[in-house]
Amino acid sequence: MSTILDGKKTSEKRLAILKEEIAGSGLRPHLATVIVGNDPASQMYVRMKHKACEQVGIGSVGVELPADASTRSVVDKVRALNRDGTIDGILVQLPMPQQVDAERVIGAIDPNKDVDGYHPENMGNLFLGRPRFSSCTPTGIMTLLAEYQIPVAGARAVIVGRSIDVGRPMAALLLNADATVTICHSKTKDLAEELKRADILVSAIGKPHFITREMVKEGAVVIDVGINQLEGKLVGDVDFEAVKDIASAITPVPGGVGPMTIATLMENTFRSAKERACDRVL
Ligand SMILES: NC(=O)c1ccc[n+]([C@@H]2O[C@H](COP(=O)([O-])OP(=O)(O)OC[C@H]3O[C@@H](n4cnc5c(N)ncnc54)[C@H](OP(=O)(O)O)[C@@H]3O)[C@@H](O)[C@H]2O)c1
């Protein structure tokens, strides 16, 4: 039986610590979220983020734009938040409707307020090995690995998925932590063979139960980022029931990676508030 990497418990612990740190800091950090359109999943994620803000003592502001908003109007909102001295972190909820150029919107965020870590400057710093803000989901995974004292240095890490929000920054973080990293994607030849070599396997594909027992090495640590609906239930990319006995440790879905993403966003927002407060003094 493998260790269940309990992201819910770990995130609650970290949020409780953060709440105390914020209360003792004399600061009142603020996060702004920007959502375009009315995609129910995006709305739910934004609501969860606002709820977490409330839980730890971070103020939050929600900017909502209609589904037919232009790139220009979203960029203008982001720039207004950049100028707003009360805002420490800006999060643009992705995906946005097709007519909005997400790259231009992300590029418009002040890198010092980019608590989601998607701005090219922050992504570049991450890949240079000197991260400032790095994406919340992969950073939360690194925190979870540390919480359970899973050794990363020297481990063979295999990531499936190369998105900018998960796969690529995950690779950089694992590499920065001295893992030997392979990134797989839809064009990878013999994916099962690549996966079978993994000491740490991270799946960020978005396909229910795609990772089967046969693809996992005995004793591997399995991190399931996927969030999928299957027969009315929320499931990951990994066939949890089949894999849990062969893995040494595994994240459940739900209750694994998801809560760590939100906790990291809160931590990044407080860090931004502290850094901005220091800048004001200097
Ligand atoms: N828990 C959380 O906090 C959290 C956060 C973010 C995302 N997610 C979830 O994680 C999943 C992935 O999200 P994402 O934004 O990274 O997705 P994405 O942008 O759609 O990327 C999916 C990746 O999977 C690869 N892929 C698809 N089919 C494959 C196959 N058959 N074999 C190998 N690789 C394949 C794609 O390869 P190509 O590049 O070649 O197309 C792509 O790189 C989704 O279920 C999402 O909901 C969860």
Does 225 lie in the same domain as 168?
yes
Ligand 1 in reach of 11 Cβ (< 6 A):
no
Ligand 1 pocket test, candidate residues 191, 211, 225, most atoms within 8 A of CB? 225
What CATH number does residue 194 fall under?
3.40.50.720
Is 49 an active-site residue?
Answer: yes
What pLDDT digit, counting tens, does each position of 178-209 carry?
A: 999 999 999 999 999 999 999 999 999 999 99
Confidence of residue 11 (pLDDT cuts 50, 70, 90): very high
Residue, of 176 and 281, whose pLDDT is higher: 176
What ligand 1 atom has the least distance to the C-alpha of 261? 3
How many distinct structural domains can be found in the chain?
A: 2
Which CATH number characterizes residue 92's domain? 3.40.50.10860
186 lines ligand 1 (CB under 6 A): yes
- Domain holding 55, by residue range, is 26-111
At 13-68, the pLDDT tens digits run 999 999 999 999 999 999 999 999 999 999 999 999 999 999 999 999 999 999 99
Task: Kindly name the residue from 6, 77, 88, 93 that is annotated as catalytic.
Answer: 93
Residue 147 covered by a domain: yes
User: Residue range 213-237: average pLDDT?
Assistant: 97
Q: What is the pTM of this model?
A: 0.97
- Tokens representing residue 83 in the block: 């100028």
- If asked whether residues 79 and 147 sit together in one domain, one would say no
Same domain, 86 and 183: no
Q: 89 with 163, same domain? A: no
In a domain, 8, yes or no: no
Model pLDDT, residue 174: 98
pLDDT confidence band for 281 (50 / 70 / 90) = confident
User: Are the C-beta atoms of residues 241 and 211 closer than 8 Å to each other?
Assistant: no
Q: Could you report the per-residue pLDDT of 85-102, keeping only the tens digit for each?
A: 999 999 999 999 999 999
User: Nearest-CA neighbor of 269 among 148, 131, 114, 111?
Assistant: 114
User: Where residue 270 falls among pLDDT bands split at 50, 70, 90?
Assistant: very high
130 assigned to some structural domain:
no
Determine whether 8 is an active site residue.
Answer: no
What pLDDT was estimated at residue 1? 75
Asked if 226 and 182 sit in the same domain, the reply is yes
Q: Are residues 65 and 140 in the same domain?
A: no
Q: Which residues pair with 4 in a beta bridge?
A: 250
The catalytic position among 6, 49, 224, 239 is: 49
56-to-12, 49, 119, 257, 262 alpha-carbon distances in Å: 10, 11, 25, 19, 12
Q: Is residue 102 part of a domain?
A: yes
Residue 164 in any domain: the answer is yes
- 3-state DSSP call for residue 223? strand
| Residue 6 is among the residues annotated as catalytic for this protein | no
pLDDT digits (tens, 9 = 90+) for 106-157: 999 999 999 999 999 999 999 999 999 999 999 999 999 999 999 999 999 9
